[in-house]
């Protein structure tokens, strides 16, 4: 396999790839992440993953690039990172006692080929009390996290059910990513 490059500055993606023993460097491209008019969420995460991979390949054409984009979705709306404590409480009020989805577009690419997929995971939260929300906010963990939570942290105690890839919710579906890398190697 050619030199592996992670097209992301996400510490969670880095940790996940290290967890499965991959050696790589990091190069985070600066791209426009705006949602296009009438763009479906699945198309959006896949487009961003491909755009990130292509941006890095332009600079490092000898490499093999892993790129991803993850969005948390509730009622067909992307739920981003909380802008304030009030915003976090609004997000948790939406997610409380409900099921939401986490979608990740994954792209692996080299100079010859680009492969991609979208992985969906359903996550169900318990009903969150105002006290649950206050205590969780005070931990600092929700800041900078899509959906205002980190499943790999304290928020795991709020998850009553999950259907799909755990690593997807963290930020990179490992099984599918490795499968794409294996397919890319076979085709190169």
| Segments forming the whole domain that contains residue 10 | 4-187
Per-residue DSSP letter, 74: E
Instruction: Return the structure tokens found at 73.
Output: 């979705």
Q: Does 32 participate in catalysis according to the annotation?
A: no
Listed in sequence order, the residues at least 6 apart from 162 whose beta carbon sits closer than 8 Å to its beta carbon are 121, 122, 123, 124, 169
Neighbours of 54 (CB within 10 A): 17
Is residue 180 within 8 A of residue 22, CB to CB? The reply is no
Residue position matching structure tokens 């763009």: 39
Per-residue pLDDT tens digits for 2-28:
799 999 989 999 999 999 999 999 999
Quickly list DSSP for 84-100: SHHHHHHHHHHHTT-EE
Instruction: Compute the distance between CA of residue 100 and CA of residue 114 in angstroms, rounded to an integer.
Output: 29
Number of folded domains in the chain?
1
CATH number, position 37: 3.90.950.10
Per-residue pLDDT tens digits for 48-102:
999 999 999 999 999 999 999 999 999 999 998 999 999 999 999 999 999 999 9
> Of 30, 32, 69, 182, which residue is the catalytic one?
69
**pLDDT exceeds cutoff 60 at 148:** yes
């Amino acid at each position: 396999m050619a030199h592996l490059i992670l097209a992301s500055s996400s510490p969670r993606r880095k940790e996940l790839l290290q967890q499965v023993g991959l050696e790589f460097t990091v190069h985070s491209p600066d791209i426009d992440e705006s949602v296009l008019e009438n763009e479906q969420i699945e198309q959006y995460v896949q487009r961003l993953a491909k755009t990130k991979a292509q941006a890095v390949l332009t600079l490092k054409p000898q490499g093999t690039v892993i790129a991803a984009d993850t969005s948390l979705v509730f009622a067909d709306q992307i739920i981003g990172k909380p802008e304030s404590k009030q915003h976090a409480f609004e997000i948790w009020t939406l997610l409380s006692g409900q099921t939401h989805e986490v979608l990740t577009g994954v792209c692996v690419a080299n100079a010859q080929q680009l492969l991609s997929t979208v992985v969906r995971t359903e996550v169900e939260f318990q009903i969150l009390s105002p006290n649950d929300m206050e205590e969780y906010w005070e931990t600092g963990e929700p800041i900078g996290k899509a959906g205002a939570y980190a499943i790999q942290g304290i928020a795991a105690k709020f998850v009553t059910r999950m259907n799909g890839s755990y690593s997807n919710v963290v930020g990179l579906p490992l099984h599918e990513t490795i499968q794409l890398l294996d397919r890319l190697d076979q085709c190169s």
